[in-house]
Amino acid sequence: MKPHAIPELRLDPEQVRALAATLRVVRVPLRVRFRGLTEREVALVHGPAGWAEFGPFLEYGPGEARAWLAATVEAAYAGWPAPMRDRVAVNATVPAVAASEVAGVLARFRGAVTAKVKVAEPGQALRDDVDRVAAVRDVLGADGRIRVDANMGWDVAQARDALGRLAAYGLEYAEQPCPSVADLAALRIALARAGIDVPIAADESIRKASDPLLVARAGAADLVVVKVAPLGGVRRALAIVAECGLPAVVSSALDTSVGMAAGLALAAGMPSLDYACGLGTVRLLGGDVVANPVAPESGWLDVSRHLSGGVGPAADPDLVERWRVPGREDWWRERMLACAAV
């Protein structure tokens, strides 16, 4: 693996200023609380190639949000590589809801045979996680696939104990159970010694790392989760996956359909794709900004329905106006320019 094989993040200030001039901010409600959020606020821009989304979470500073802007510029100016497949399997996403709400959440992802379940939610106990995963297994049946996402919520000992209990329900893998690469590597050893067969997937250790290849060099994961925006665009994400040499799952960052199209472009452009992808969270939104949402049907996303000529769907002016919050647009413009200046 050669770190220099990954393209550097480069931003053209003139392109950023041009996009900032087209910016519209929308705020869309969520059907269920997710990541502690009840609504999602993003900026939409338009460039020569089409519409693009700039949606780093509000707490991210310019240094972290810079990669998100690079992905926005790519979508607006260059578009994306040609797809290598006609459709992409999509998993359901189950937030940290009560077990009694699981069936209702999964009903929004009709046809999905894989579910990602949030665990290790602050303020909740392991019992809540066990009950939630058990409820998912009841709905999906014995043939369904379940993966859990702890978002760095456990230390090594907690992760070993939690995964030991959750493994009884059959886990495809556990996503980012611990914060650091060293902890992930230690957890893999601890699980092997305990006879707990749960593969480990790295998410934050890829998208938030200054060296996204470290997790592979350290033997800290069995697979990687990649997201377009925090990795700086579709092409850069493809290069990172190629350099890692590990199986990959494509996921999203709670995007509108404009942003979700970039995730679909990445999944469609992967040379190999053995796992269902986390590209169904449009189903968690209470609104959208395109007439034909990039949402799965019967567990799949049809590539040609949502991507054409390397670009995604156009934002619908009426829907943009419905969810628009003009009073936030100066803040987002300043944020874009600050990212370009880093």
**Which positions are annotated as active-site residues?**
118, 227
Distance CA 184, CA 91 (A): 24
H/E element, 88: strand 87-89
Distance CA 338, CA 69 (A): 10
Helix spans in the chain (H):
13-20, 62-73, 102-107, 126-140, 156-166, 181-194, 204-207, 214-217, 228-231, 234-244, 257-269, 303-306, 317-323, 329-341
Query: HEC states along 21-42?
Result: CCCEEEEEEEEEEECCEEEEEE
Distance CA 215, CA 82 (A): 29
**DSSP string covering 293-309:** ----BTTEEEHHHH-BT
β-strand 145-149 against 114-118: which pairing, if any?
Answer: parallel
Other C-beta atoms within 10 Å of 341: how many? 11
Query: Tokens 């579709």 map to which residue?
Result: 234
Distance CA 272, CA 175 (A): 20
